[in-house]
Chain A
Amino acid sequence: MLITVRKPIDEIMGFLAGERAVFLLGCEGCAAASGTGGEPEILELKGELEARGIEVAGWKVVDFLCQKALIRTSLRPFAEPVARADSIVVSTCGIGIQASATVIDKAVHPACNTISLGGIRGEWQGEERCVECGQCFLEFTGGICPLTACAKGLVNGPCGGAKDGRCEVEPEVRRCAWNVIYERLERQDRLDLLRSSPVQIKDYARMRPPSELRGTREWAVDMAVTGEETR
């Protein structure tokens, strides 16, 4: 289970500068449970965007967005609206956003931040990884997470260490994440995004579970079972 919170609509609108139409993607899994990516939330987002002059060419709630094969088959009936949209707005966790960006060769914008649970439960298949940083960077990196894909977790571009496109850490199994980001954005003719994005600073305070979460029933059940506050 990954817990997400919706980004403020103004932040999302900032991502959509110069765009006219979008396609919305939600997720029936953790995001629906989090109240960010189920059908009601997607319809709410649709309303918010339309009220601000953005056309919603179509929308789909997929179960689950972490499964790339499922995204592909679920979107088959939506080829036309997806093609018509300038970009895809994805309201789910960092994995689902990355998986969508891998499958759909278009600009993909994150509508959520994935917040820290202080450790990851559950499992997923595929190479997308999310560290629940609470400040999703995927908007600025073509939908490829720089925190998990780059060995140094660099958020402002590559270091000088890549050789022939391979990372200086374990080159046999790692490509340079920033080369991959570059290739995707170049293919989408979106390299200006790298130039124009502001200096990114990681906020480690958001990488800890928020206090509201520690007060939830799930955490309380654990306490009741063990009889002590262990975390």
Chain B
Amino acid sequence: MKLTDLFREGKFVITSEVAPPKGGDTAEMIENAELLKPRVDAINLTDQQSSVMRLGSLAASQMLKARDIEPIFQMTCRDRNRIALQSDLLSAWALGIENALCLTGDHVSLGDFPDARAVFDLDSVSLLAAAKGLNEGVDMAGNELAGATGFCLGAVVTPGADPVELQLIKMEKKIAAGAEFFQTQAVFDAEAFARFMERAKPLGVPVMAGIILLKSPGMARFMNNNVAGVHVPESLIDEMKNSEDRPATSVEIAARLIREVKGICQGVHVMPLGWEKRVPAVLDAAGL
């Protein structure tokens, strides 16, 4: 099932994500995915998140597909050149994977192999263009394929980036290259997100607001200091600080954000970061 089909039906699309394990034991990843399955339309499988070496997103996507859970196969350009990226897209298609999310990827210096070669042969825009080409039956060199792919192609955007204009220009380039939907970096300020959506709406491509479950005031401050394009307002940090039941407050904040953005975007992408068990409560409280 392609996400584009759901958007076309006018459905408010809900996705979440699970991280493949650092190691060969997939039990917890599958458990988390099964827990999310009844409540979400699809699940992202992250690709060596934060440049930390893990089980691959292709294998993880296929494992979910085999359990009737719709995977969104994340691909970054950090670790593979254009030959490997195109080949993995063909492999994914052959395995029945229908949604691919194309990203540039973090630099290797952020992860556990800072001494590795950072590839970046392609980037998010040229990867989307390559994937679109495969959908049309040709590879990047113009060679005809024995069988085209039919991916629904996604991309990411950071509404809180500064300058936002540069972000919007890149968003336009991604759309021109083949992006059919966007998932955003975490949104914590609904008004700022609304201002971004006023600029993004005319581009005519569905946008899913990124929702991260705040676990503590410390986590919020860490993100403010270290994560690009994320800003948790002081009011939310205070709300967590003064809370007597942080998990409950976290759920409440996430649900409130979803209610606030629901009318102005086409879906939400919930990033539980270990709090998968609380996602159903968030969606309940958000009325989804």
Contact = CB atoms under 8 A, between A and B. Distances in A.
Interface string A155-195: 11111111111001110000000110010001000010011
Given A159-B124, A160-B156, A162-B228, A168 B166 contact: no
A168 B228 contact: yes
Contacts of B12: none
Interface stretch (B145-153, B168-176, B187-195, B274-282): B168-176
B61 interface: no
A157 B41 CA distance: 31
B226 A152 contact: no
Contacts of B106: 161, 168
Nearest to B129: A199
**A152, A159, A194 pick with most chain B CB within 10 angstroms:** A159
Contacts of B163: 179, 182
A152 B107 contact: yes
A153 B120 contact: yes
Nearest to A164: B162
Given A182-B165, A201-B140, A202-B121, A161 B107 contact: yes
A195 B172 CA distance: 8
Given A152-B118, A182-B166, A163 B126 contact: no
A199 B104 CA distance: 14
A191 B165 contact: yes
Interface in B113-129: 118, 120-126, 129
A156 B125 contact: yes
Nearest to A150: B120
Chain A binding surface SS class:
loop
A157 B118 contact: no
Interface residues of B, number: 35
Contact of A201 (B126, B166, B172): B126
Interface string B91-118: 0000000000000111101100000001
**A151, A160, A182 pick with most chain B CB within 10 angstroms:** A160
Categorize the interface residue count of chain A: 20 to 34
Nearest to A152: B120
Interface string B152-168: 00001010011101110
A152 B228 contact: no
B101 to A, nearest CB: 13
Contacts of B110: 168-169
B199 to A, nearest CB: 14
Contact of A157 (B120, B162, B173, B227): B173
Given A160-B229, A182-B163, A202-B121, A152 B104 contact: yes
Contacts of B270: none
**A164, A182, A200, A201 pick with most chain B CB within 10 angstroms:** A201
Contacts of B185: 160
**B123, B167, B172, B177 pick with most chain A CB within 10 angstroms:** B123
B123 A154 contact: yes
A195 B107 contact: no
Interface string A181-223: 0100010000100110001111010000000000000000000
Interface string A12-54: 0000000000000000000000000000000000000000000
Interface in A45-93: none
B109 to A, nearest CB: 5
A153 B170 CA distance: 16
12 contacts: A152-B120, A153-B120, A154-B104, A155-B123, A156-B170, A157-B125, A158-B170, A159-B105, A160-B104, A179-B166, A191-B169, A201-B126
Pairs of residues from A and B, 5 with the lowest C-beta to C-beta distance, nearest first: A156-B125, A157-B170, A159-B104, A163-B228, A152-B120
